[in-house]
Amino acid sequence: MPEATHRFSFEERMSYLKEYGSHSMSFSALQPGMQYFDMPGKGYIAYEQKWGRRGVLSDPVCHVKDQKTLIEKFLQKGPPAGFAQVSEPVAKLLYDEFGFYATQFGIESIIDLKNWDLKGKKKQILRTSLNHSIKNNISIHEKYDEKRYNRLSLEWRKTRKVKHREIKFLIRPINMNYEEGTRKFFAYQGDELIGLIFFDPVYSNGKIISYVPNISRFSRAFKQGIFYTIMIHAMDIFKQEGIKQIHLGLSAFAVSDTNSYYEAGIPKKLVRFLYEYGNSIYSFKGIRFTKSRFRGTEYRTFCSHRGKLPFREILTLFKISNFF
């Protein structure tokens, strides 16, 4: 682990998060097992280390003008590093200043709540799901004393491609040591808990500017459209509270046809292959379809790596994320 002249206290780290944590994964980087490179007066970089390499999660938590300095100091100390799920401006900075190639990792979507509604042909599935929930007497509640969600989560995991271990790093765990600012919405049919979405806060200038649905679980007994129903309910509440945006998070491996000068060609072909044929491992297409129904504005997100053929970095990322 790289040495730093100062290790932030939790209170210091939270002050930087609330000031600069505008990436959809900034809050997720507080998950257990993460390490941090701290730079007083600038901010921090969150990472996990495995096999002699550091995997950075998300953009540096700092002011944009300090990104270059923070990344430079981070790279000077400690083992080799790769960067996962960084924004396009950071991917470009890593190439221009440090020679890191970028591979598009997927697409993130942001909904403009002020102008969002349920109208339009593309949103028919949202309206249908909402009507289906009303017909079946589904109720949605925001609450914090519900204790049954871990049992629901265990049942839900039995339906996943990876059943026997929880994916982490790229997806934060359902239980976090720190939960201030998170929002929890539950779906019920009568007294039965049938679904949930946990939202993490997105910060800027000391305020929550958005939320991202980082955790969602659903009962096998009733799963038709519950995600859509909970999302619509939560978005209505956030809109009433004055929240202007909702981040939908990552649609992994859904990559655009746009090729930028800092992208590596062969890894992008591999990502496209995994998206097309890797759905037995992870529901890439299903998640992409679900999020696309909200018709948000899409942005490319990247992994950045030293060489054009980052196979070791990819294996390390999969290991850190607990895919195997």
| Mean pLDDT confidence for 200-220 | 96
Least confident of 118-122, 163-167, 177-181, 223-227: 163-167
Q: In the structure, what pLDDT confidence band is assigned to residue 223 with cuts at 50, 70 and 90?
A: low
Match 């790289």 to its residue by tokens: 2
CB 291, CB 247: distance < 8 Å: no
pLDDT digits (tens, 9 = 90+) for 151-175: 999 988 887 766 667 788 999 999 9
- What are the distances in angstroms from CA 120 to CA 35, 67, 128, 302? 45, 40, 12, 31
Give the tens place of pLDDT for each residue, 72-111.
999 999 899 999 999 999 999 999 999 999 999 999 999 9
Q: What is the distance between the alpha carbons of residues 247 and 24, in angstroms, rounded to a whole number?
A: 7
Kindly state the percentage of the chain with pLDDT values over 70: 96
Q: Which residues does 277 contact at the CB level (< 8 Å), separation at least 6? A: none
Cα–Cα distance between 215 and 231 in angstroms, integer?
12
CA separation, residue 142 to residues 80, 95, 230, 253, 307 (Å)? 43, 43, 10, 32, 46
Q: pTM of the full predicted structure?
A: 0.93
Q: What is the mean pLDDT of residues 52-62?
A: 96
Across the range 231-253, mean pLDDT stands at 96
User: How wide is the angle at C-alpha 89 spanned by C-alphas 110 and 111, nearest 5°?
Assistant: 5
SS3 sequence of the chain = CCCCCCCCCHHHHHHHHHHHCCCCCCCHHHCCCCEEEEECCCEEEEEEEECCEEEEECCCEECHHHHHHHHHHHHHCCCCEEEEEEEHHHHHHHHHHHCCEEEEEEEEEEEEHHHCCCCCHHHHHHHHHHHHHHHCCEEEEECCCCCCHHHHHHHHHCCCCCCCCCCCCCCCCCCCCCCCCCEEEEEEECCEEEEEEEEEEEEECCEEEEEEEEEEEECCCCCCCHHHHHHHHHHHHHHHCCCCEEEEEEEECCCCCCCCCCECHHHHHHHHHHHHHCCCCCCHHHHHHHHHCCCCEEEEEEEEECCCCCHHHHHHHHHHCCCC
Tens of pLDDT, residue by residue over 173-202, are 999 999 999 999 999 999 999 999 999 999
* pLDDT for the residue numbered 109: 95
Closest CA to 249 of 108, 44, 125: 108
pLDDT at 301 over 60: yes
Residue 28 near residue 21, CB atoms below 8 Å: no
Structural domains present in the chain: 10-108+256-279+299-320 (no CATH), 110-248 (3.40.630.30)
pLDDT of amino acid 158: 81
Rounded Cα distance between 192 and 219, Å, is 10
User: What's the confidence (pLDDT) of residue 3?
Assistant: 44
